[in-house]
């Protein structure tokens, strides 16, 4: 077909179908024989049991050799497992014919390997075998080179075919230029490309000169930038409406117009992900703004906490339980903090009553007050009871109260109690009114107990340091269940600042104080928890201003606990009426409409305005992951040839799916697996997960795993898919390996918006 690099199909269906049916019959024979052999290969483990019996009676000098034999027998049994053979119902999905050194070889690609030289059947694992790369990276008629065990093997691709099965029978054969489809006992040929053409022929191609991340503001956006500098600004809008652009242009405008009031080092831009941080830095650089701090929230609060609380551990657990993050960020934890402060108050009153002989007078005086800060409760005694108490007893009381005031900034003990005391955690569960399950208490308490345990370095501090050194330079506990010991969760930093504020009414210790800023930009604010927003609000100068940007439809953090924009601004301790941006500039209209329907019940009442027309959203259903990999590689190869300067994001649901997709696509072409926001912001193919792409944009977006298994029907998945789709500036392609996700819009749903996507 023109523009695809495929050879036109000219053969009759009969010979190809007959050839594939013969190959399938030989494969079934080979599988039947292999299953019989493996069932007779002592699968019951008699050999291994005999070796174990021999081990029990063997002398010490014979045990090493027996141990080696036991390992070999275990490996043989593993190889002999019947379930490691190809599935007879669909033993492979692709057929590759190559010519190597004048000899023609037929290689089949499947999930499990099978080799039968007698019948000429070779099935290789498509994710591992070097020859499989030829199928994904080469066209028919091309020469290839691959490296196998240090040797370079050259060959020529004769045929490439994709196959599907239904009920164990061959159902379709995709060949160059089309597909052969079985209909009962007959076959017909249907002209069809292997993969859709992603490039929109009506859209101009990218060139190096057209890659520009900066946007000219419209009148509505410019009016927001020019708001009174001290006024807080809440900018809401759909994906691609320019919220981040407005926020960063406001930073530039404040720096330019009021440099003394808004010095660069007293301006802070907070974003949720490293990718958005890097993009924001690029935009500010393009606006000639230097020296403004751009940080992810986690990086910022980590640095602040370690400066203010000098005792905080310098390590975080590599894989903390989600339960801990969910509870520590939940608003219900404020109820546990309230109880903790009440307990601190009673404990101080009991101690002073006992030491100074007040016979409960202090406890009664303190319990009669409801000041939120422990500092103010103690001051009640200082200005009341202490003044009324004269002589030596009065002096002792004043000294005792001063001593307790000096201790208020010591929050380490309260923090340990808050995250480890089951009764306090249970108070949070109760306050959540069913939102948090009761079982989460034990999970968090157990996690905290392990964190408070001594590390191996601490336990063996008496041993010479050289003897404790590891070969890889890591800690002794790294890679063991004990590696959580001596760590702190990233969610604990906000808890520490909240406890400090509730005890002292301030955000400072003897080690340091929370930084203060003249202006703070808070982008994607819907992802932050109330306790985190409170810390940010306290970092704002009393005369400072804030710009908050967000979109409730794009919240994807399951532990963020977003309630409303009114609650966000209340947590920041600022008030502002929201300003709405209603035009989506990033994506063309078909993508905007498609993304709107994805949201389901969470969708706004009105579809965002999209002034730009564009190509329809493409959707492809494949028989499985192997088919999807082949189709992806085919389409991406042609896209790279037709639009070489385009940026392409292959966005999977999570990290595991992204790694699997990258492993598959990289077999056919160069592509990067992006973690921690390390995007190139330039031409090329990058594979990543949804959580990495907030606020970013790419020419083409491909969803490679849009199956019912990976994207079930739930609000969190709908919002995540909405975020992924709305990263596209030109086109979206949805690939569903197996059963499609139920959250994908139906044709009827799209008709309601006046557009049918095919």
* Domain residue limits at 649: 589-753
199 inside domain:
no
Domain end (from 428, 452, 476): 452
Mean pLDDT of 608-623: 93
- In a domain? residue 7: no
Task: Give residue-wise pLDDT tens across range 273-297.
Answer: 999 999 999 999 999 999 999 999 9
**Residue 494 and residue 442 share a domain:** no
Burial category of 446 from C-beta neighbours within 10 Å (exposed 0-12, middle 13-18, buried 19 and up): middle
What's the rounded mean pLDDT across residues 753-758?
A: 46
Phi, psi of 273 (to 5 degrees): -130, 155
724 with 667, same domain: the answer is: yes
Are 441 and 548 members of one domain? no
What rounded mean pLDDT belongs to the chain?
A: 87
The whole-number pLDDT of residue 755 equals: 47
Tell me whether residue 277 is in a domain.
yes
Spatial distance between the Cα atoms of 347 and 166, rounded to a whole number of angstroms = 72
- Asked if 732 and 592 count as a contact pair (C-beta separation under 8 A), the reply is no
- C-beta of residue 121 within 8 angstroms of C-beta of residue 139: no
In a domain, 465, yes or no: no
Taking residues 448-468, report their average pLDDT.
Answer: 59
* 561 shares a domain with 701: no
Structure tokens at 681: 């912001």
| Cβ count near 288 (within 10 Å) | 9
User: pLDDT digits over 530-577, tens only?
Assistant: 999 999 999 999 999 999 999 999 999 988 889 999 999 999 999 999
DSSP state of 483: G
Percent of the chain surpassing pLDDT 90: 70
Q: Give the per-residue pLDDT at 649.
A: 98
**Do 252 and 186 belong to one domain?**
no
Residue 374 and residue 391 share a domain: yes
Model confidence band, residue 462 (pLDDT cutoffs 50, 70, 90): very low
Question: What CATH number should be reported for the domain holding residue 232?
Answer: 3.40.50.300
For residue 734, tell me if it sits in a domain: yes
Could you tell me if 118 and 96 lie in one domain?
A: yes
Tell how strand 672-673 and strand 684-689 pair up.
parallel
Based on the domain organization, do 505 and 598 belong to the same domain? no
**What pLDDT was estimated at residue 538?**
98
- Whether residue 477 is contained in a domain is answered as no
DSSP state of 4: T
Quote the pTM value: 0.86
pLDDT in tens, 144-173: 999 888 888 899 999 999 999 998 899 999
Using pLDDT thresholds of 50, 70 and 90, give the confidence band for residue 395: confident
Domain boundary among 555, 581, 607: 581
CA distance 459 to 450: 14
The stretch 402-429 carries a mean pLDDT of 95
Secondary structure letter of residue 210 according to DSSP:
G
Query: Is 9 inside any structural domain?
Result: no
Q: Which residues pair with 234 in a beta bridge?
A: 548, 578
Domain count, the chain: 4
Please give the C-alpha separations between residue 458 and each of 450, 452, 477, 485, 496, in angstroms, as whole numbers.
14, 12, 11, 10, 24
Packing angle, helices 492-504 and 530-538, rounded to 10: 60
pLDDT of residue 310 exceeding 70, the answer is yes
Token readout for 642 is 């037709």
Pair 238, 380 in one domain: no
Is the domain of 575 the same as that of 657? no
Strand, helix or coil at 701?
strand
Q: Which of 581, 615, 639 delimits the end of a domain?
A: 581
What's the rounded mean pLDDT across residues 80-106?
A: 87
Going by pLDDT thresholds of 50, 70 and 90, the confidence category of residue 354 is: confident
- Whether 577 and 593 map to the same domain: the answer is no
Contact 699, 732 (CB under 8 A): no
Residues 225 and 181 in one domain: no
Summarize pLDDT for 669-728 with one digit per residue, the tens.
999 999 999 999 999 999 999 999 999 999 999 999 999 999 999 999 999 999 999 999
Binding-site sequence positions:
237-244
Of the candidates 162, 129, 171, the residue with the CA atom closest to the CA atom of residue 146: 129
In a domain, 213, yes or no: no
Evaluated on CA atoms 236, 241, 247, 250, the torsion sign reads negative
pLDDT (mean) for 431-438? 94
pLDDT in tens, 44-72: 456 666 667 676 776 666 555 556 566 55
| Binding-site entries for ATP | 237-244
Q: Residue 60: what pLDDT?
A: 62
637-659 pLDDT, tens digit per residue, is 999 999 999 999 999 999 999 99
């Amino acid at each position: 077909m023109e523009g695809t690099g495929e050879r036109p199909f000219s053969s009759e269906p009969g010979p190809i179908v007959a050839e594939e049916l013969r190959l399938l019959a030989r494969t079934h024979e080979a599988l039947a024989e292999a299953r019989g052999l493996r069932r007779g290969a002592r699968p019951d483990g008699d050999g291994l049991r005999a070796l174990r019996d021999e081990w029990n009676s063997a002398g010490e000098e014979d045990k090493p050799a027996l141990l080696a034999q036991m390992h070999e027998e275990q490996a043989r049994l593993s190889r002999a497992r019947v379930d490691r053979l190809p599935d007879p119902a669909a033993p492979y999905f692709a057929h590759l014919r190559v010519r190597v050194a004048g000899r023609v070889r037929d290689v089949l690609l499947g999930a499990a390997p099978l080799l039968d030289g007698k019948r000429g059947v070779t099935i290789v694992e498509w994710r591992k075998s070097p020859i499989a790369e030829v199928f994904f990276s080469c066209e028919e008629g091309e020469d290839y080179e691959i490296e196998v065990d240090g040797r370079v093997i050259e060959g020529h691709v004769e045929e490439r075919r994709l196959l599907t099965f239904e009920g164990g029978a061959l159902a379709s054969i995709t060949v160059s230029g089309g597909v052969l489809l079985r209909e009962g006992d007959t076959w017909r040929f249907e002209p069809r490309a292997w993969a859709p053409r992603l490039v929109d022929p009506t859209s101009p191609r990218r060139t190096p000169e057209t890659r520009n991340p900066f946007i000219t503001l419209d009148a509505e956006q410019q009016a927001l930038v020019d708001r009174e500098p001290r006024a807080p600004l809440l900018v809401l809008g759909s994906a691609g409406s320019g919220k981040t652009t407005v926020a960063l242009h406001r930073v530039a405008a404040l720096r330019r117009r009021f440099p003394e009031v808004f010095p660069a080092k007293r301006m802070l831009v907070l974003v949720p992900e490293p990718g958005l941080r890097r993009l924001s830095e690029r935009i500010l650089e393009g606006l000639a703004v230097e020296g403004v701090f751009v940080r992810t929230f986690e990086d910022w609060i980590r640095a602040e906490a370690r400066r203010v609380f000098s005792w905080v551990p310098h390590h975080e657990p590599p894989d903390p339980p989600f339960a801990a993050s969910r509870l520590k960020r939940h608003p219900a934890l404020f109820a546990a903090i309230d109880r903790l402060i009440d307990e601190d108050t009673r404990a101080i009153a009991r101690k002073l009553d006992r030491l100074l002989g007040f016979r409960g007078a202090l406890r009664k005086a303190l319990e009669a007050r409801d000041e939120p800060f422990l500092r103010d409760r103690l001051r009640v005694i200082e200005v009341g009871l202490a003044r009324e108490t004269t002589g030596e007893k009065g002096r002792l009381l004043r000294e005792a109260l001063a001593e307790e005031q000096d201790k208020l900034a010591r929050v380490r003990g309260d923090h340990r109690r808050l995250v480890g005391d089951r009764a306090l955690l249970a108070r949070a569960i109760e306050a959540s009114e069913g939102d948090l399950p009761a079982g989460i208490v034990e999970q968090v308490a157990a996690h905290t107990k392990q964190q408070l345990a001594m590390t191996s370095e601490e336990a063996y501090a008496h041993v010479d340091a050289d003897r404790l050194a590891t070969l890889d330079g890591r800690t002794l506990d790294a890679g063991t269940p004990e590696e959580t010991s001596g760590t702190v969760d990233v969610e604990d930093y906000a808890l520490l600042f909240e406890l400090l504020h509730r005890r002292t009414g301030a955000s400072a210790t003897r080690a340091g104080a929370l930084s203060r800023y003249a202006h703070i930009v808070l982008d994607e604010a819907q992802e932050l928890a109330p306790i985190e927003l409170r810390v940010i609000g306290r970092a704002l100068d009393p005369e400072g201003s804030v710009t908050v940007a967000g979109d409730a439809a794009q919240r994807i953090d399951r532990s963020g606990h977003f309630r409303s924009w009114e609650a966000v601004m209340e947590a920041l301790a600022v008030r502002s009426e929201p300003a709405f941006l209603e035009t989506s500039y990033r994506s063309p209209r078909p993508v905007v409409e498609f993304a709107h329907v994805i949201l389901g019940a969470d969708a706004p009442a009105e579809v965002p305005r999209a002034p730009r027309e564009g190509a329809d959203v493409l959707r492809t259903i494949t028989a499985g992951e192997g088919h999807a990999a082949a189709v992806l590689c085919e389409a991406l190869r042609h896209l790279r040839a037709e639009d070489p300067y385009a940026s392409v994001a292959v966005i999977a649901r999570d990290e595991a799916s992204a790694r699997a997709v990258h492993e598959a696509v990289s077999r056919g072409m160069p592509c990067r697996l992006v973690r921690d926001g390390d995007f190139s912001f330039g031409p090329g193919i990058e594979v990543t997960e949804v959580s990495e792409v907030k606020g970013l944009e790419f020419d083409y977006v491909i969803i490679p795993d849009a199956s019912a298994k990976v994207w079930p029907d739930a609000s969190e998945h709908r919002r995540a898919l909405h975020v992924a789709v709305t990263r596209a500036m030109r086109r979206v392609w949805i690939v569903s390996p197996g059963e499609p996700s139920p959250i994908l819009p139906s044709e009827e749903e799209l008709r309601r918006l006046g557009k049918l996507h095919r």
